[in-house]
Amino acid sequence: MTPAIPVETANVSAMLARGRTLVTPVLRAAIDRLAPPMNTVAAYHFGWIDVEGNPSASDGGKAVRPALALLSAEAAGAAPEVGLPGAVAVELVHNFSLLHDDLMDGDEQRRHRDTVWKVHGPDQAVLVGDALFALANEILLELGTVDAGRATRRLATATRRLIDGQAQDIAYEQRGRVNVQECLDMEGNKTGALLACSVSIGAVLGGVDDRTADTLETYGYHLGLAFQAVDDLLGIWGDPLATGKRPWSDLRQRKKSLPVVAALAAGGPASERLAHILAADANRDEKTDDIADFDEEEFASRAALIEEAGGREWTSQEARRQHATAIEALHDVDMPAAVRAQLVALADFVVVREG
Amino acid sequence: MTPAIPVETANVSAMLARGRTLVTPVLRAAIDRLAPPMNTVAAYHFGWIDVEGNPSASDGGKAVRPALALLSAEAAGAAPEVGLPGAVAVELVHNFSLLHDDLMDGDEQRRHRDTVWKVHGPDQAVLVGDALFALANEILLELGTVDAGRATRRLATATRRLIDGQAQDIAYEQRGRVNVQECLDMEGNKTGALLACSVSIGAVLGGVDDRTADTLETYGYHLGLAFQAVDDLLGIWGDPLATGKRPWSDLRQRKKSLPVVAALAAGGPASERLAHILAADANRDEKTDDIADFDEEEFASRAALIEEAGGREWTSQEARRQHATAIEALHDVDMPAAVRAQLVALADFVVVREG
């Protein structure tokens, strides 16, 4: 995919690194509040300790959301530190959802390590997830300002939408057909809502009005949809070395992701052939006749059908459309030029990344 | 147990009924915001529909917390309606914890009906619980006032303590010995913190200062500990017809509740005999050699040992001590005499109830 604007990768890396540097100590202090063994379980989840409890420097993820929250404060003309409680809060909510989603989805690996429910059991995954959500609210509201209340309200709404998205995802997996709009709605809730909140939360803490915050959220929401469209492409055609996932991982998991849904909606011979294959899958018993271990050629041929039906191209274009909509929203907000450049660079990074 | 002050049962019933009447429509409107099927699952949980989805008028529980939140507003000299968003929020958080705790504890029945995880599966129990917690914050913060932020902060802290209490409860079940102080701490977190918040939340929405709110929380916290001490007595010696539980239910579930912990701490022959029996239980494999279905005589004899060691009497006295501490805290707050009388009547009700 060719982005409209030259990517400044160094810029994005520095921005993400700054986010991690500022947020990690505050996050650690927050986790220390939890009753044992939840503090230890959370430290494992964040990659600060290994399974045996020894210090570790695992990959804690890209931490896009906290980096955005700091930039968000700067967009309002405030110091990045003004956005810090918001950065910690969105990272806590994001990780609350990872803990619960991994459990519900039965995912055994995250960031190349066993997931919390796999290591510490389902109860700890539920409990620690709950605790991170409570902490997110506490940390924001301890500021005691009207703006903190406004920020927390946005976070609560984003979190409810995140949960709505996961509920839709689960419901759609159990259903025969899902249309493109339903898929976009689900991805907007699951990925767009919290990214949107990350882009407004620092600015709200910096005192911007609701209209400006809403416009910043428009950027973040479409950034999230662009991110998710690329994720859906990588989930089928991504390089396993870059994504850290099995080849064709979304196809193995029967995900009704955008390329699949768009291919099914396209009509034509390849689309009909795909529909036929997926209908046959639906009649299999997931436990006794799992498609996940079908051979490579079977998935390669399915991926080719999706591409032939136009699902790959449509999703690429969708990523570009969402990218453009995100950038456009930025025109409506006054902000320092450097902050605008960073937000643009981030949007570009999101659509060209390979993992 | 003889309460210090005559009970006005009619008063308490009317107060609880008022809470349910005011809160239910707002709660239903809140639940309507959730994506399907979570709205239906939540409606089942609250007893508004049955398993088939038909309207039902099941027992939705006593709803002590919302009733307290309305009274709390009146304690601040405000109209009860001022406390309504707080009443809905504490009820949502309480039900969030029930959904998750029933799943973690493997409890199959609540209020004489199958629990949500049993009917709709574990994923829905996790998701709908999460959604209720998010809704609680949303509903409070939509008020958009500084006091709403203060109220939500107290709710977030109470919720984190609630989660801490559940984590302690699980950890203690897996441990050999638990001392009386650890048990009281756990019960304070699990029951005291949210009841405390229920008693302050309406007053905070009504504009009282933090010191007054803290004093109201002291009443609520000790009310919670009194409630829990009585619950622990009923869990062993309660009348199954009144409690809706199996006879000796806490003993069947190996709960390290106050009477057991106090009996173990007392020393003497009965205490030692009890310690010996519980140590033998701990060596059984819970799955293949479950104590829950031991015959009645076995549990009757264990209950007699606990009583002989002084665990029953100590817990009765503890309920009275906590009741007295709760009432005492009320002296430090100026409030209308009728509100004070209601809070006293509720404390009395809590310690004399039989189910």
The pLDDT value given to residue A2? 41
Q: What is the pLDDT of residue A159?
A: 98
Cα of B155 to nearest chain A Cα, Å: 9
Considering only CA atoms, give the Rg of chain B.
20
> What per-residue confidence (pLDDT) applies to B144?
95
> Does residue B1 lie in a domain region?
no
Reading the block at residue B326, the tokens are 């709760």
Residue B150 touches partner A, C-beta closer than 8 Å? yes
Which residues of A are less than 8 Å from B94 in CB distance? Answer: none
To the nearest whole percent, how much of chain B has pLDDT over 90?
Answer: 80
Which residues of chain B make contact with A159, given a CB cutoff of 8 A?
A: 130, 134, 137
Residues 63-82 of B with CB under 8 A from A: none
Q: In this predicted structure, what is the pLDDT of residue B59?
A: 67
B144 contacts on A by Cβ (under 8 Å): 149-150, 153
Q: What is the pLDDT of residues B238-281, one digit of tens each?
A: 998 888 778 888 998 888 999 999 999 999 999 999 999 999 88
Measured between beta carbons, the chain B residues lying within 8 angstroms of A165 are: 35
Q: Is the pLDDT of residue B175 over 90?
A: no
Q: Determine the residue of chain B that is closest to A137 in CA distance.
A: B156
Q: Residue B283 — very low, low, confident or very high, per pLDDT cuts 50/70/90?
A: confident
Residue B113, beta-bridge partner list: B110
B209 touches chain A (CB under 8 A): no
pLDDT band at B61 (very low <50, low <70, confident <90, very high): confident
Contact yes or no for B164 and A135 at CB 8 A: no
Q: Is B156 domain-assigned? A: yes
Please check the confidence at residue B300 and state whether its pLDDT lies above 50: yes
Cβ distance B127 to A160 less than 8 Å, yes or no, reads: no
Give the closest of B133, B152, B165 to A152, CB-based. Answer: B152
Low-confidence ranges of chain A (pLDDT < 50): 1-7
Cis amide bond preceding A3, omega within 30: no
Residue of higher predicted confidence among B311 and A286? B311
DSSP B145: S
Q: Indicate whether B282 pLDDT > 70.
A: yes
Q: Higher confidence at residue B291 or residue B339?
A: B339
CATH classification of the domain holding A279 = 1.10.600.10
Q: Is residue A208 part of a domain?
A: yes
Q: Do B149 and A167 touch (CB under 8 A)?
A: no
| Mean model confidence pLDDT for chain B | 93
The three-state secondary structure class of B245 is coil
- Number of A/B CB contacts below 8 angstroms equals 146
- Decide if A118 is inside a domain: yes
Q: Is the residue at B223 inside a domain?
A: yes
pLDDT at position B6, please?
44
Q: Which residue of A126, A135, A137 is in closest CB contact with B126?
A: A126
Q: What is the pLDDT of residues A12-65, one digit of tens each?
A: 999 999 999 999 999 999 999 999 999 999 999 999 999 999 999 876 678 999
Residue A239, domain extent: 9-352
The number of folded domains in chain A is 1
With CB atoms and an 8 Å threshold, state whether A167 touches B134. Answer: no
Read off the pLDDT of residues B127-137 as tens digits, 9 standing for 90 and up: 999 999 999 99
Residue A171 at interface with chain B, using a CB cutoff of 8 Å? yes
Per-residue pLDDT of B315-353, as tens digits, reads 999 999 999 999 999 999 999 999 999 999 999 998 988
Q: Which of B100, B138, B160, B168 to mutate to test the interface with A (most CBs of A within 10 A)?
A: B160
**A339 located within any domain:** yes
Q: What integer pLDDT is reported at residue A1 of this predicted model?
A: 43
In a domain, A246, yes or no: yes
CB contact A175 to B (< 8 Å): no
Contacting A residues, span 99-128, partner chain B, CB-CB under 8 Å: 100, 103-104, 122-123, 126-127
Residue B293 lies in a domain: yes
Q: Is the pLDDT of residue B111 over 90?
A: no
Question: Between chains, do B127 and A103 touch, taking CB under 8 Å as contact?
Answer: no
